[in-house]
Every structure is written in structure tokens, then in C-alpha cells.
Structure 1
Amino acid sequence: MVRKVKRLLAAVAAGALAALCTLTLADAPAAQAAPKPKLPPAGVDITGDRLDQPLQLRADSRPAEVNAVIDQVKWLGQTGQQRGPGAKDLGPKYTVVVLTGGNPAKTYDLYPLAKGGPRVYRPAKQPDLSKPRAGWFFGRLNMSETLRGVGVPLEKQFDTLSGGIGGGERVIPEEALDPVQDIGTAMDELQRLLLLNVGVVVIITAGLAGIALLIRRRTR
């Protein structure tokens, strides 16, 4: 009797162990197949003059704009100038916060209309707790047009160059730099000036002749 009970208990224990192993193996693929949480996309947030709400750009929906804004600050060196322009010469300020994985990583202050050319200020206190040396840098000459292109309310600038630090190319229309057209325009203006001078001489001569004739009649 005791042996039968032991055999029965052993059989029950073996069955329970087999069922537990089966459940564990069945749950393992499901756990492995569970997708990892997707990290938020990289991007930039822009705040500043005439922006009622932060301008939020994300790499998954507007990659070109995000890269264009980051290109304005990614080249900054280790050290910049300790003193920048006076407050009255800086113009409107726009703060750019670079996000990595949805979290703020870097912050910069951009002054696209500063007197003497665009400027960038990098504060020493950064969101990622890095401690770069605070400093002022000359910005790229296309800063204003880049910010305007991503939605910042700035007036269009016609006399800027694309690129800036490290080179660039003119964005002035080629026809404005055509020497043949400039010479033709200059000749037309010269011709008009000569005709105007001739007209003035004729009028003065006629006036003098009239005065001389009047004096001659009175002296008779």
C-alpha cells in the first residue's frame, strides 16, 4: 500500500514538473519576441523672438530641417571668445536645444541678425551635464535663411552666402553678377545723362539768346 502511494505521488510530481517545463518553454519565445520600446527620434526645439510656442523639429518627420539647424552649431570648437557684441547689437535671440533619444542634450543661443554677422553663444551649463567652456562664436552666414526655412519668423535676406565658416557659395542671383548686363546698363545711363546735358545746354542757350535780343531792342 505504501509503495502504491509513493508511486502515485512520484507520478503526480513528474506530471506537474513536465507541465511546468512546457509552460516555461511556451512563454520563452513570446518573451523573446516582445519588441523593445522604441526610442523617441532625435530633433531640435527652437524658442525665441516672435515664436509663441516652441518650434519642434524631429528627425523622423523633418530630417532635412533638423540636419540644417544642427549644422549651424555642430562645428563649434572647444573655446570661443569670452566677450560678445553688446546687447543692442545682437538682434533677436533664438535658443536651439538639441535632443537625443527624446532628451535635451545640448543648448545654444543663436543671433542671426547680429551686427557684424551671425553669432552663436554656447553656455557652459548644458542639459547633458557636460561642461564645455562658455564662449561666443561667429555663426554661418546662412543662419538667418536656415532658421527662416524651418519656420522661424525672420525677414528674407538677399545678401547672404550659403555655408559661412568653412566656405560657401553665393546665393545672389547670377544675373545680378553679369558684367555684360552691367556694362549695357551703364551705357544706357550714360546716354540718358548726355541727352539730359544737351537739353540743358539748349535751354540755357535759348534763354541767353532771348535775353540778348530783349536787351538789344531796349537799347535802340
Structure 2
Amino acid sequence: MGARVSRRWLLNGALLAMFAAPQLLTSPASAAPANTPTAVTIAGDGMTQPITVPAADKPELFNAVLGQVSWLKGKGQSSSPKPDKLGPKYTVTVLVGDAAKQTYDLYPLATGGPRAFRPAKQPDKKLKTTAAWFYGRLTMSETLRAAGVPLPEQPETLHGGGVGGGDRVFDDDTLNPGRDIDKLLTDLRQMLLLNGAVVVIITLGLAGIALLVRRRTR
């Protein structure tokens, strides 16, 4: 009798473990780490209210916006640009649940390419960092525009990952082919004149040496 009771308890325990295991594996506590970002907000010039991009509802757009700021670590890549060269500013805040954790300032229309700034003061008091400037990703302008930021379309944007300009990597002066050709011709002309002068000087020097040698050998 005791053996039957033990077997029944063992069988009931095994069945209970089988039903409980899937629930434990899919419980919210084990589904994602506690510090995983759940949303990003965008606020800035020309916007009446912030834009919220939740990870659950818009995962692709969320990852695209988060990708503009998630790599902004270290000491930075550039010095502080001039304020009048930055253009409109848009602040991206990373949320975990309802708590703001990190914030970054993006300048997609900065002269020479977009810039990003990481403030030393962050919403999460436990996060210790320093202020730093970075060259923004090439897709910054179009990513923010896709999220709803009032930015003009940039058909000449160089799409792709990596770090560099946003809407233009170089300004109009840098990308002026006519000016570059004129400068090239001017430099070439100066080089030819310089080389010609050097040849004349060398020729005169050789002639003088030959004349001197000829006089001494007579």
C-alpha cells in the first residue's frame, strides 16, 4: 500500500513539473533582461510634442533610431563644432519601461555631415559618463524623418552603416568639380613653370662649369 502511494505521488509530481516548466520558461521575468530598452523618444526643433517609438509595436523603426545612439561610447571622435554650423537639434531619449535612462543630442543637418553629442548629465544617475562629440551615422537624417521628425528629404544621402556624414559628407564647396579642375590646372601650371625654371638654372650651371673647365684645360 505504501509503495502504491509513493508511486502516485511521484507520478503527480512529474505531471506537475511538466505543466509548470513551459510557464516558467515563458515568464516575463525571464523573457528579457531588466535593462533592455523598451522605447525611444525624439524631441526637438519644429516639433510640438515628442515622438515615441516603442520596441514592441515598431521593432524595425525602434532598432533604427536606437542604432543612431547606442554606439556613442568612449571619448568621442571630434571637437566641439561651431554652434552656427550645427543646425536643428533633436534629443533622443532611451527608455526602459517608463524610466528614462540615456539621452543624446543629434544634429542631422550640421555643416559637413551630421553630428551627435553625448551629455555628461544623464537621466540615470547611476550612469557616469563624460560629455563628448561624435560624427553621426550616414543614415541619421532619413532615420529621424522616418520616425516623424519634420526634416526635408535628402535624396543624396549616402545610405549605409558606419560613421560619417548624415545628409552630406562634404559641403558644396568641397563637392564643386569645376573649382577642383581649375585648382588642379593652376597647380599643374605652377609646377611646370617651377620645373622649367629649375631646368634653366641647371642648364646655365652646367654651361658655366663646362666653360670654366674648358678655360683651365687650355
TM-score, structure 2 as length reference: 0.56
Question: Secondary structure of 1:158's match?
Answer: coil
2:162 maps to a residue whose letter is I
- Say whether the 8 Å CA contact 2:136–2:163 is kept in structure 1: no
Q: Which amino acid aligns with 1:67?
A: N
Percent identity of equivalent pairs: 53
Measure the CA separation in 2 of the matches of 1:43 and 1:163. 23
> Which residue number corresponds to residue 54 of structure 1?
50
Match of residue 196 from structure 1? none
1:95 aligned residue: 91
CA RMSD of aligned residues (A): 2.9
Once the 2 structures are TM-superposed, how far is the Cα of residue 36 of structure 1 from its aligned partner? Answer: 7.4
1:43 paired residue number: 39
- Aligned counterparts, 1:178-217, within 5 A: none
> Matches of 1:67 and 1:73 in 2, distance apart?
10
Question: Any idea what the Cα deviations from partners look like across 1:186-213, whole Å, max 9, x if unmatched?
Answer: xxxxxxxxxxxxxxxxxxxxxxxxxxxx
Q: Does 1:134 align with 2:122?
A: no
Q: In the TM superposition, what whole-angstrom CA distance separates every residue of 1:126-147 from its partner, at most 9, and x where no partner exists? A: 1112111210000011100010
Report what 1:146 is aligned to.
143
- Confirm or deny: 8 A CA contact 1:148 1:154 kept in the other structure: yes
The structure, 1 or 2, with the larger RCO (C-alpha pairs under 8 Å, 6+ apart) is: 2
- Alpha-carbon distance, 1:100 to partner: 1.1
Count of aligned pairs? 137
Structure 1: gaps of 5 or more residues: 1-34, 168-220
Matched, 1:77 2:73: yes
Q: Which has the larger radius of gyration?
A: 1
Q: Unmatched 5+ residue regions in structure 2?
A: 1-26, 165-218
C-alpha separation in 1, matches of 2:76 and 2:152: 28
- The amino acid across from 2:90 in the alignment is Y
Matched, 1:105 2:101: yes
